[in-house]
Amino acid sequence: MDDVRTRLREVRMNEPLPAAPVPHTNPGRTHGDPDANRTSVGERIRILRAAGVAVVVNVPERGLPEVLHWGRDLGGLDADELEQLRLARARPVSPSALDEPWPLTVLPGEQDGWEGRPGFSAHRARQAQYPQWNIIEAHSTADSLRLISTADGLDLTTTFSLDLAGVLRVDHEVTNASDTSLALAALESVVPVDDRAAEVLDFTGRWTRERVPQHRTLTAGSHVRETRRGRTGHDSPFVTALGTPGFTSSTGELWAVHLAWSGDAVYRYDALPEARTLLGAGPLLRPGEIELAPGESFRTPASVFVWSDRGTDGIGSRLHRSLRARSSHPRRPRPVVLNTWEAVYFHHDLGRLEALADTAAEIGVERFVLDDGWFRGRRDDSAGLGDWSVDPQVWPEGLHPIVRKVRSLGMEFGLWFEPEMVNPDSDLAREHPEWLLQPLGTGVRAWRNQYVLDLSRPEAFEYLLESISAIVGEYRLDYIKWDQNRDLIEAVHDGRANVHRHTEAVYRLLDRLRKRHPDLEIESCASGGARVDLGILDRTDRIWASDTNDPIERLAIQRWTELLLPLELIGSHIGPPVTHTTRRATSLDFRIAVALFGSAGIEWDVTSCTPDELKVLREGIACYRRLRGLLHSGELVHPDTGDAGTTATAVIAQDRARALVRIARHATGDRALAPTLRVPRLDPAGRYTVAPVPELPVPRGLDDVAPPWLGHGELRLPGLALAEVGLQMPLLAPGEALVLELIREPS
């Protein structure tokens, strides 16, 4: 034992770690508790604490660490109390089991005694690998813990970091320290959750209906959701949350995980009879995909773990705070976008686009984005992808005339690309058929007439970097919409499965481009919202949530996209009166009210608008421009409405001085009067005036029956009364929304 002790090199708190993904704070320091995170040589139990969350990790003499607690903060426990906690948590032998108690480690496997889905799975020339890990180094700071372990022929680095929002990121890096190659099958991060977790929330979806929630009872067994689409996918599990019975948007305790990754993924929870429930995620690796030669390493993307004691809103609130703390988070006001896609599709014509730009500028648009159709041979979706130069037939002077026009009107200019793809009908495919992820003629199947480029080929990578970079430079692009419109099927490089390396190459390409053009903003789009994850968001500034601009559909899609992302990152556009994807007709007022709560824009041929429509649009845009500071910095909550057909969305300023509440109805219900809406998280003692925002009309409501307070100008109530008693909601018709502004009176 002593030998192991001497090998265990403890490194004290102040030792620098590699750059952390987000800035961290020491909650102990912030809250005047100097002992909160102190660790010392010889202490085997580490505690990370931030924003009301504690993670307690036992670093044992043999084997891998165990998470003893992840959840509510436990205060500043001293070394003795931490030891007692370990004792309190120690697992006895269960009936009909191994004779010795066994630990539930951060990388559980049969070598420990764990018989659920392993965290690590590999073989070496068909030799089974059950590594007997031992920790040889433990590096800790106030908010992170890095543990280096070895086993026969393997090194492992496990990193935990808890950021200022209480969001825990965990990843593993395994290195093949032997002289034979190692075929890796799985490397996943798991953390145990409390036994009270009894329900599961995760997501599915399809094109134009992304992030559909599935809320069900937690049942026994190893439950695995796999994604094998080569991209995040419309039906991504997105976030898997385990919660206490009956949890809602605002109530209940939840433990959630998200994988910061845009390739194939595994989301998992294991509820075995003899162990605590484990929650986790990791990259999905196909057979033979990751084979580590001697000395090679593989590092997982981060699994992002979030605990909440106030329902799903508590998860969102921590994630939003965490994202907003990134140095790369967009700081400039999110401009009003006009995207040309649904306005003109592939029919690029300078005169028509100039007229569109004129009208856009008149109504307050700030960024004009030329979508698909500008490059060589791209007259429809059957040709051109891969040939990233301006089509001389459509644009004889290049894009200069439209760029000049847009800039002369005071707007920014953005352009669409789909870098990862190629049409067989393109010069690129004709010249380099070998650049495809699976070469032509080998049974590869088209999807939207296109194939995928193998970005792990250096020549293909460099070609894309240089050709995109040249256009960004020539036109001084402010913005790129980076699209990706197909799943990867049978993706191979030199005969070997290649989703993982391809995804890493996509990230590298984005990183290189951003480094060259630091002011360039990038939107991530994938057939609408098939690439919404924190991996792509580390290198992009906005996501396109869905290809549907139908506000009824969008209400649901955005409501759950908001579980991960704050409003400023979610592209949300006002479409035409009849939505192209659903053929549903909706009012302009409703479309504006829905787009307002996002990174707003327009996707509509506004040259076809009546003067009245333009007036309403102008007012709506003015409203967004006035309120975006609040919308894009405040805390987002979704008060329970008690009516399945009504969604309430509220944004409360961080200083609680102002708030916005949108009540939107998408379906009728069985009540003759609408229920009461309670607005949480306001300043309980502050008195608020409540009134509809002046720029948007008050909806008529069903049968023209409005609650009396709506006809009385402003309502004045303390925050506590608004939270506990609430407001009588109007009985809205489906397709109507009311946006209220709450302003705290000076005290």
Positions that interact with ligand DGJ (CB under 6 A): 341, 371-372, 416, 483, 485, 525, 527-528, 544, 547
Secondary structure element (H or E) that encloses residue 29, with its range: helix 27-30
Closest approach of ligand DGJ to the CB of residue 528, in Å: 5
| Residues in CB range of 645: below 8 A, 6 or more apart | 665, 666, 667, 668, 669, 734
Closest approach of ligand DGJ to the CB of residue 429, in Å: 18
Residues in the chain: 747
CB burial of residue 611 (10 Å; 0-12, 13-18, 19+): exposed
> Which CB atom, from 62 or from 448, has the smaller least distance to ligand DGJ?
448
> Which CB atom, from 102 or from 416, has the smaller least distance to ligand DGJ?
416
Q: Which two tokens stand for residue 653?
A: 């300023």
Closest approach of ligand DGJ to the CB of residue 449, in Å: 11
Q: How far apart are CA 428 and CA 421, in angstroms?
A: 10
> Which CB atom, from 114 or from 604, has the smaller least distance to ligand DGJ?
604
Widest pairwise Cα distance in the chain = 84
Strand partners, 478: none
Catalytic, 483? Answer yes
Closest approach of ligand DGJ to the CB of residue 378, in Å: 9
Distances (CA, A) of 248 to 199, 307, 616, 667: 11, 14, 36, 20
Kindly tell me the sign of the dihedral angle through the C-alpha atoms of 87, 88, 94, 97. Answer: negative
| Residues in CB range of 585: below 8 A, 6 or more apart | 577, 578, 579
Distances (CA, A) of 310 to 246, 304, 314: 12, 18, 5
Q: How far apart are CA 498 and CA 300, in angstroms?
A: 15
Catalytic residue among 143, 270, 313, 483: 483
> Which CB atom, from 528 or from 535, has the smaller least distance to ligand DGJ?
528
Kindly tell me the sign of the dihedral angle through the C-alpha atoms of 553, 421, 418, 533. Answer: positive
> Which CB atom, from 402 or from 674, has the smaller least distance to ligand DGJ?
402
Distance from the first to the final alpha carbon of the chain:
64
Q: Which of 104, 311, 298 is nearest to 191 (CA)?
A: 104
**Bridging pattern class, strands 278-283 and 240-243:** unpaired
> Which CB atom, from 372 or from 412, has the smaller least distance to ligand DGJ?
372
Mutual angle of helices 400-408 and 350-363, in 10-degree steps? 20
Catalytic residue among 547, 550, 643, 683: 547
Closest approach of ligand DGJ to the CB of residue 527, in Å: 5
Closest approach of ligand DGJ to the CB of residue 593, in Å: 22
Closest approach of ligand DGJ to the CB of residue 390, in Å: 17
Helix (H/G/I), strand (E/B), else coil: 524: strand
> Which CB atom, from 340 or from 467, has the smaller least distance to ligand DGJ?
340
CB 403 within 8 A of CB 475: yes
Q: How far apart are CA 623 and CA 611, in angstroms?
A: 18
Closest approach of ligand DGJ to the CB of residue 721, in Å: 44
> Which CB atom, from 551 or from 735, has the smaller least distance to ligand DGJ?
551
Measured from each CB, the residue nearest to ligand DGJ is 372
What is the C-alpha radius of gyration for the chain, rounded to an integer number of angstroms?
27
Strand partners, 415: 370, 480
Closest approach of ligand DGJ to the CB of residue 480, in Å: 12
Helix (H/G/I), strand (E/B), else coil: 638: coil
CB 283 within 8 A of CB 187: yes
> Which CB atom, from 188 or from 547, has the smaller least distance to ligand DGJ?
547
| Residues in CB range of 179: below 8 A, 6 or more apart | 294
Residues with catalytic function? 483, 547
